[in-house]
Structure 1
Amino acid sequence: MKKYRLYLSVLLAVFAAALSDISAQYRIIGFEGTDTVDLGIAEQRGGKFVLPKNIAKYTKIELVAVSQTYADTERHLRQLQKAYLDKSRELISTEITYITDHLDFATLYYSPIYTDYLVSWLSGYNFVATSVADFGQRLSADAVGTISRLMMSDQTKIAENVAKDLAIFAYRYGFAATTRHIVEYMRRIDKKFVSRHTDLKYIVDKDLANTPKQAAHKIVGLDSERLANCLIIFFDSGSRRSTDEVDKIIDKYSSLRQKGLRVISIASDTDLEQYNEFAKRLPWADKLCDKYGIKGENFENYGVFDTPAIFLTDEEGNIIRAGSDLDKVIQ
């Protein structure tokens, strides 16, 4: 608690020194583990802060100024929404450029209009895109560009949360390719990006489980095109979540062979030395490495967002089940 009070005292002193308007307001954000909670408004009255009573249990807090920056952010949201009503393609395009190039996400993220702004942003492409394909391409480029801008300005935590939310919204809009592009970008920075966000992981796993029952795509690197009675796993040897599933297959390999299943593994590793060392543990013959992360050709052909991804085919070579858990796939 002493540490907490010292942190709060220093933080308040810094803010107080920068303020001259005694009616200034600050939104208080509490941090507890990975959770962030909006604790309400702190007002500065007569040179002193009046704080809510429910902040003591949080190990860290931050004050976000409800300032001109927030007022500008809210004004731009209203302009974007008005542009919808006016069906002004030019104004909508201008506001989208403002979002991607200038919007202060540090202020937006902790504000009550955050979700509304994201939805309005994505909806804007309905007006400026010339086709469904153009919608997806614009959204992908702008989403990744915005996340990159936040990363480059050292707003890592906000960038990560914005990336997660955009990926989910894009998927719900029907633009799984955009979700893939966002995940692909974030996994270059943090391989655990998907697994650390349970709501995003749920979507990725659900998408995998709903893989259409169709002919398995030819696997680049294998001589045979026929993929009958195969267990295909996409993995990353640097991911514990992936290697846990690979270990399950190694343990069950004898029984899988007795059932007539051919095991094929495809790694996303970009470090071939690391992959080759790991591959020595794999008892099956068909082991490949796409070398380009989830941008590898086989990963893209199978629509794999994240690892592990496991596919089971029948005697005709059709995918009959898919998922991230071996036991559920082969049940």
Structure 2
Amino acid sequence: MKKILLFVLAILFTTADAQEIQMYFPHFKGKTYNFVIFRGSDAKVVIKDTIPQDGKFTLKIPKEYAPYTGMSRWLITGTQEGGGLDMLIPGHDFSVKCTSAKPDNDNIIYTDNVEIPELNLFYKKQSEIFARHDAMLQATKAFTSKDKNYSVYEQEYRNQLKAYERLQDELKKKNDYASKFLPIVNLTQGIGTKIYQSEEEKARNAADYITNELDWEVLYTSGHWSGVITSWVDIHTLVLNNPKKFAADFSEINKKITDPDKYTDLVKRIAFAVNKSGEDRFLAEIAPIVAGSGKVTSYDGLLAAYVSGTQGNIAPDLTLSPDGKMILKSSNFSGKEYRKTLLIFYKSDCGSCIELLRELSVKYEQLKSAGVRIISFSADEDETVFKNKTKDFLWKDFYTDLKGLKGINFKNYGVVGTPTLFLIDRSGKIELRTATLREIEDQLK
């Protein structure tokens, strides 16, 4: 079981104007530093300054973010050795003092702080449980059931599973920021609320916790917002592989986040993670929920994938000429000669695209015989690169406007990464959005 790194915690006292942390680090005088707080995907640098010669300085939470409850990071900059502290800020002023040249949990003194020992105790309990669990697990694997001590190993193994469940109960009863933060850190380490051996059981447990128990307000200021959301998407796309379940879980999460800014950040991170996985069918399942939420005001960039080029909708028309005058309507993609259209967005130097185009050349005649027309759009911004790549294409419909991912067709289809493929029927409706030719072939069967 992976060990969890200890985080330094601190308590701030709320003032009328701002929250303050009084710092005293005399051995770091003259060094520059950044002070960072977390809000969803953003790590906001709210202070850049230099430690004075007496080592005393104040970290202030700006008024627009106060009162702030969440994680922060004080980082020494401009030196090779670096250094700094991660600090939990639950809304109170506090002070930190360290007269040592090598700060650690034993020589840093916190005033008006009660959560450090609490969280450290939880970390210690968890580490001890994991150590005993791993030892007993190895023992049950190393010895057969005939060994005289096997029953002892097996019983102790079960004891540690129960001990971990009791620890989770303690965290739920405590119900403060620190107790909610620990499970978030655990998620980033691949650890859920129960100890399982199979990857699928681990995935289901983590997905269930994220959907039903995770405190999204705590996650938003934890510094792990993007990581946990990406993990949730990966669990669904790589392990559970059930788009309907993904949509059902998202529907529950959708109810919990009412703030438009936080919700927009959430669905943007989901779109990024799904696009990276190449499993666009998952995004198609939640697109109606996102579009119907009323919480997203502008669908641009990554967010365009929820309203443009989604499975089940009519495909946008294609702009074929750089001047925008030559338009091919989606209802005419297939024409009279074909029954479906395979629309491909690629970039010549994209590794996955190179493999896709090679595979497409091999299977071109097979697709043509199946009545599939191929139209490709390149994100190339260099005309020479575009021409060198397309000279070997077996299909005749290939285009670029040399504007990269900012091109009109990429925007209209909500394409933010390559390769992205669309299978479109004769009426112009999108049957499938994906990143692989294999899924296109499966759809054609």
State the TM-score bracket (shorter-chain normalisation). 0.3 to 0.5
TM-score if structure 1 supplies the norm length? 0.47
